[in-house]
Amino acid sequence: MQEMWNGSLGTSTVGRDVVVRVRDVVKHFRHGQRVIRALDRVSFELREGRFLVIVGPSGCGKTTLLRILAGLEQHDSGEVWMRPSRDGHPPFAMVFQEQSVFPWMTVRENVAYGLRLRRVRGRAAEERAGHWIRKVGLAGFERAYPHQLSGGMKQRVSIARAFAVDPDVLLMDEPFSALDEQMRTILQQEVSTLCEEQQKTVIFVTHSIDEAITLGDEVLVMTHRPGQVKRLIPIPFARPRDVVEVRADPRYGELYEEIWGLIAEEVRRGPREA
């Protein structure tokens, strides 16, 4: 317990507003007769423009935490707060691990989907969708359907859809895990650049320690179930970043070793509850 992080945050964005606050969040799930504690007093804060990456053993509650933040799941106790957006719409957009594009919609319709929900229609929606389709490198594919696209292209559609609604906060759950290494690296760079350019606040879940170091300003390592915050590790690399150059920095290896050590300890220990 003494190694649990106490919830206070990094210093490099002092003066910026807190955009996300999670305090003592507890979540249980019922499996038949058994009750599983998925999250146990999880606390953190995130300031505007910061990129937080969450890593931890499989089943430690990462997706559950994101779903709670997105309002898709209810927590049992604790506080979850996200700064309301200026226009009254949800302040976040989510990108899932599974391809979450609608197969019956074209690329343009998929990207405009979130805009429609926010009642942006007609020419304004067309222009905004078109802008983001170009931005993620899908110009020329506006009328294509998802089955005509590669996995990487479908993830680009999801990313364009999330950015198109101009959310303050991006919630990303292993968005690149189904991609090959080359496509992964390309999309990591694109997302890193876009988030920096658009000053997005990001919570990004991944299994990849490499991805965590490459993208994050901070890496939050979770314990095995029930998921708690084990450690918050600041990443010293400035942004904007070259995701390939960062890997050649000697500090990269040290960070990798540190984070791997923390996760390996948890994996070896296994869940604390049945």
Contacts with ligand ATP, residue ranges (CB under 6 A): 29, 31, 36, 38, 58-64, 225
| Of residues 30 and 147, the one with the C-beta less far from ligand ATP | 30
Task: Decide which of Mg ion, ligand ATP, none touches 36; Cβ closer than 5 to 8 Å per partner kind.
Answer: ligand ATP
Task: Decide which of Mg ion, ligand ATP, none touches 154; Cβ closer than 5 to 8 Å per partner kind.
Answer: none
Count CB-CB contacts under 10 A for residue 250: 6
Give me the helix-helix angle, 181-197 and 151-164, nearest 10°.
10
Residue 110 near Mg ion by CB under 5 A: no
What is the chain's Cα-based Rg? 19
Task: Find the shortest distance in angstroms from Cβ 62 to ligand ATP.
Answer: 4
Task: Decide which of ligand ATP, Mg ion, none touches 7; Cβ closer than 5 to 8 Å per partner kind.
Answer: none
Q: Does residue 271 have a cis peptide bond before it, meaning omega lies within 30 degrees of 0?
A: no
Task: Decide which of Mg ion, ligand ATP, none touches 38; Cβ closer than 5 to 8 Å per partner kind.
Answer: ligand ATP
SS3 call for 202: strand
Task: Find the shortest distance in angstroms from Cβ 207 to ligand ATP.
Answer: 6
Of 217, 262, 261, residue with least CA distance to 53? 217
Task: Decide which of Mg ion, ligand ATP, none touches 110; Cβ closer than 5 to 8 Å per partner kind.
Answer: none
| Of residues 31 and 123, the one with the C-beta less far from ligand ATP | 31
| Of residues 39 and 213, the one with the C-beta less far from ligand ATP | 39
What whole-number distance in Å separates Cα of residue 219 and Cα of residue 198? 21
Q: What is each CA distance from 224 to 61, 105, 203, 261, 266, in whole angstroms?
A: 8, 39, 19, 14, 5
| Of residues 10 and 271, the one with the C-beta less far from ligand ATP | 271
Task: Find the shortest distance in angstroms from Cβ 56 to ligand ATP.
Answer: 6
Task: Find the shortest distance in angstroms from Cβ 64 to ligand ATP.
Answer: 3
| Of residues 68 and 136, the one with the C-beta less far from Mg ion | 68
* Cβ atoms 94, 172 nearer than 8 A: yes
Consecutive H or E run containing 203: strand 201-205
| Of residues 139 and 267, the one with the C-beta less far from ligand ATP | 267
Site residues (CB under 5 A) for Mg ion, limited to 26-65 = 63
| Of residues 204 and 237, the one with the C-beta less far from Mg ion | 204
What whole-number distance in Å separates Cα of residue 265 and Cα of residue 57? 10
Q: What is each CA distance from 164 to 18, 113, 159, in whole angstroms?
A: 23, 9, 8
Backbone angles phi, psi at 218, to 5 degrees: -140, 145
Task: Find the shortest distance in angstroms from Cβ 206 to ligand ATP.
Answer: 9
Task: Find the shortest distance in angstroms from Cβ 234 to ligand ATP.
Answer: 22
Residues that bind Mg ion (CB under 5 A): 63
